[in-house]
Amino acid sequence: MSDSESTPQIGQIVRVLRGREVDQYSIIVGLIDERFVLIADGDKRKFDRAKKKNIHHLELINYISPEVKNSMEETTRVTNGKLRFALTKFLNDSVIDRKKGEQIDG
């Protein structure tokens, strides 16, 4: 298992597995300790009201948004627009990748 899969990182995309926001994607905007992180999506869950989440309730996606990571490193903040942009970009890219790689029987 690579380091990025086992250790959550700032800017990493996650899929929520438990709770009210099941199957929604968010971005890690803060690390509390080895069990808890802060997540936000810039839309329903704004950066200023990031949600504390147990990492066992998240699927860590092997993708770190460079925009979010750089912004957090430079200013310790990220705009909600940048969070929405990073999630949209990731979701669009992953859908395109899936279409390229899978044969869909119709």
Is residue 71 assigned to a domain?
yes
Task: Name the pTM for this structure.
Answer: 0.87
Least confident of 5-9, 11-15, 55-59: 5-9
Express as a percent the part of the chain with pLDDT over 70.
89
Q: What total of structural domains would you count in the chain?
A: 1
| Mean pLDDT score, 73-99 | 91
Is residue 44 assigned to a domain?
yes
* Burial class of residue 102 (count of CB atoms within 10 Å of its CB; 0-12, 13-18, 19+): exposed
Using CA atoms, how far residue 85 sits from 6, 30, 35, 90, in Å, is: 25, 18, 27, 9
Is residue 77 assigned to a domain?
yes
pLDDT at 106: 44
Is residue 25 assigned to a domain?
yes
Is residue 106 assigned to a domain?
no
Q: Tell me which residue range forms the domain holding 71.
A: 3-99
Is residue 16 assigned to a domain?
yes
Is residue 86 assigned to a domain?
yes
- 66-75 pLDDT tens trace: 999 999 999 9
What average pLDDT is seen over the chain? 90
